[in-house]
Amino acid sequence: MTIVVNAEEKFDVKIPDDEVKNLTTVGEAVDFITKAQA
């Protein structure tokens, strides 16, 4: 969970808890953050 909080702060995005469990790879997390910033 610490990684999620750090990513939210670093990239100024909110990752909902229900979405976190679907992010199983670094690539999926990167894709989510990229789309959230768009």
pLDDT of residue 1: 74
Q: For the chain, what is the HEC assignment?
A: CHHHHHHHHHHCCCCCHHHHCCCCCHHHHHHHHHHHHC
Question: Residue 15 — left, alpha, or beta (φ > 0 → left; ψ -120 to 50 → alpha)?
Answer: beta
Distance CA 33, CA 38 (A): 9
| 13 to 6, 20: CA distances (angstroms) | 10, 13
**pLDDT tens digits, one per residue of 1-37:** 789 999 999 999 999 999 999 999 999 999 999 999 9
What was the pLDDT predicted at 14? Answer: 96
